[in-house]
Structure 1
Amino acid sequence: MFAAAGAVAALLLSGACSGAKPKAAAADSGKVVTTPVVLIKKYDAASGALEYQGTKKVQEPDEAIEPSGPVQTATVAKDATVLGAVNICSGEDATVDDKTGVGVKPCTLRQLEAAVKDGAQVDAYLTMKGRTVTKVAEVYHP
């Protein structure tokens, strides 16, 4: 019982020391959540480590999406669903839901890794259970 309490206290303390926002606690609780649009910065398929950063919309030019906040890390489940819009695996033709602009073409984790090589970034929604990504859905915007 004391070990579990100590682990919870360490987890809470590590979040407080890292500057984590209170919203992050929902992700740590094991609930399934979908993030707002994030920029996927790096993914290593061998280790499953994903680096991403929050975003903000900028009115000019053309409501661009820009990075905002600290770079965060998560683990991607080996059986995670990856849906591409253009950059992950769709090529030149966008494969998106016309109403949402979210990718619909099934892609692999290796294709995700290739899409963010050499500093390239992908805009996406992440569906997470705890700190594990279960779905990556690329967001298309012209």
Structure 2
Amino acid sequence: MRAFAAAGAMAALLLSGACSDGKPKAAAADSGKVVTTQVVLLKKYDAGSGALEYQGTQKVQEPDEAIEPTGPVRTATVAKDATVLSAVNICSGDDATVDEKTGVGVKPCTLQQLEAAIKDGAQVDAYLTMKGSTVTKVAEVYHP
């Protein structure tokens, strides 16, 4: 009976580490499942190699609830046919192009426009949709 209790406790401990916070883990991304990240800060994109650098974010409780980078910079490969949606900074120009309910960009852009937007150091926050370890969609998030 004690052996079963110990085995059950060990399984619960392993599962709690793998599923903590309900956030997708690297293992889920590597399994080929489609996952969408929390809001990330896009750091750099190289259209030639398809490598996208990004960093996690957190909201800072200030009057404007700024979004600040947090955690390590990560790298993922962007699919050549990935969807890129702009809210303001990627390719929308002076007008915001967002879904009014979600604040997520709706204007389609090219990967080259994504590269140019990030190259200039503009803060571009986005949701990344990934299949396995490959980015299939970049959806910019609007924030004032």
TM-score range normalised by the length of the shorter chain: 0.7 to 0.9
Q: TM-score, normalised by structure 1?
A: 0.83
Take 1:38 and 1:111, find their aligned partners in 2: how far apart are those partners? Answer: 18
Per-residue CA deviations over 1:7-55 (Å, capped at 9, x if unaligned) read xxxxxxxxxxxxxx98121111111000000000000001100000000
Confirm or deny that 1:131 pairs with 2:133: yes
What is the Cα deviation at residue 61 of structure 1?
3.3
SS in 2 for 1:80: strand
Give 5+ residue unaligned stretches, structure 2: 1-22
The change in CA–CA distance for 1:26 and 1:94 in structure 2 (over 3 A counts) is: same
Q: TM-score, normalised by structure 2?
A: 0.82
Take 2:94 and 2:120, find their aligned partners in 1: how far apart are those partners? Answer: 20
Per-residue CA deviations over 1:91-138 (Å, capped at 9, x if unaligned) read 110000000000000000000000001333310000000110000000
User: Paired residue for 1:3?
Assistant: none
User: Aligned partner of 1:119: which letter?
Assistant: G
Decide whether the 8 Å contact of 1:77 with 1:134 is kept in 2. Answer: yes
Give 5+ residue unaligned stretches, structure 1: 1-20
- Mark the structure with the bigger radius of gyration: 2
